[in-house]
Amino acid sequence: MASSKRAPSKRGRNRSSTDGSRPVRGRRAGLHRAGLRPAGFAHARGNSEICALVSDDPKKLRELGRRYGVDHLYGYEDYERGLEESGADAAYIALPNDMHREYTERAADVGVHVLCEKPMALSVSDCESMIAAAERNEVKLMIAYRLHFQKANLAAIEALQAGKLGKPRLFNSVFTMDVKDPDNIRLKRERGGGTLWDIGIYCINAARYLFRAEPLEAFAWIANSGDRRFAEVEEMTGAILRFPEERLASFTVSFGAADVGSIAW
């Protein structure tokens, strides 16, 4: 689901009105995540509607279809057919990280905009392929990184740019959580699990948008206590980033500690 209006596609599938007179019709792919957090789209109710749901779990698919009043229900093998039959303008991709590229490109290839969960993909080449697919099909591709739009973050950026807090020289962040379920996809290497993909990006992006610059160098360490939960991925990661004008950002993220989130600069 996306809040932007549908741009014309060279495939001729321009279902959205350009004057905002009708809502954007979106479909969600990956109910194991998306169907459990509808509050994240509460602000979009005025200009968007769910027109289809996709899952490899038939029971969950039926339950969520009833809950949200959605008749178009599909398995992954019918993804493209569902996009066409439901009249979707945009697809919200909330699948495991290793599936982002495939389902983004499949949506783009049938002329549908894409809102893809973070992280975008698991390699630079995958990200570039996704961008190329969107450009080739003249559709929009956006990553669902919500903190760019959160009031507290925008206020912090504004205060720094206005000079109210002086010139930032250093940045430090801690983001930890205790992932107890050994079957959680965050702990599966082949699914794109690991601390950096899941929560490290929040610390990195916070430093980027507060410093208003890109890091020049990075040095990182990983640590593992030997807990069997972390047989495939690191338990924690610590890093230091060097930014232009000799500024430093450091952060630590962990899947094996109490839930904590903090930022200081």
Cβ atoms < 10 Å from Cβ of 30 = 21
Give residue for tokens 């490109």: 105
Cα three-residue angle 171-174-179, rounded to 5 degrees = 155
- The rounded distance, in Å, linking the Cα atoms of 19 and 11 is 21
Angstrom distances, CA of residue 183 to CA of 125, 188, 242: 28, 8, 36
- Per the residue annotation, which of 60, 118, 140, 188 is the catalytic one? 118
- Active-site entry in 74, 79, 92, 202: 202
Is 151 a known active-site residue? Answer: no
Q: Nearest CA to 220 among 199, 249, 244, 241?
A: 241
Does the active-site annotation cover 202? yes
Cβ atoms of residues 57 and 32 within 8 Å: yes
Residues annotated as catalytic are 118, 202
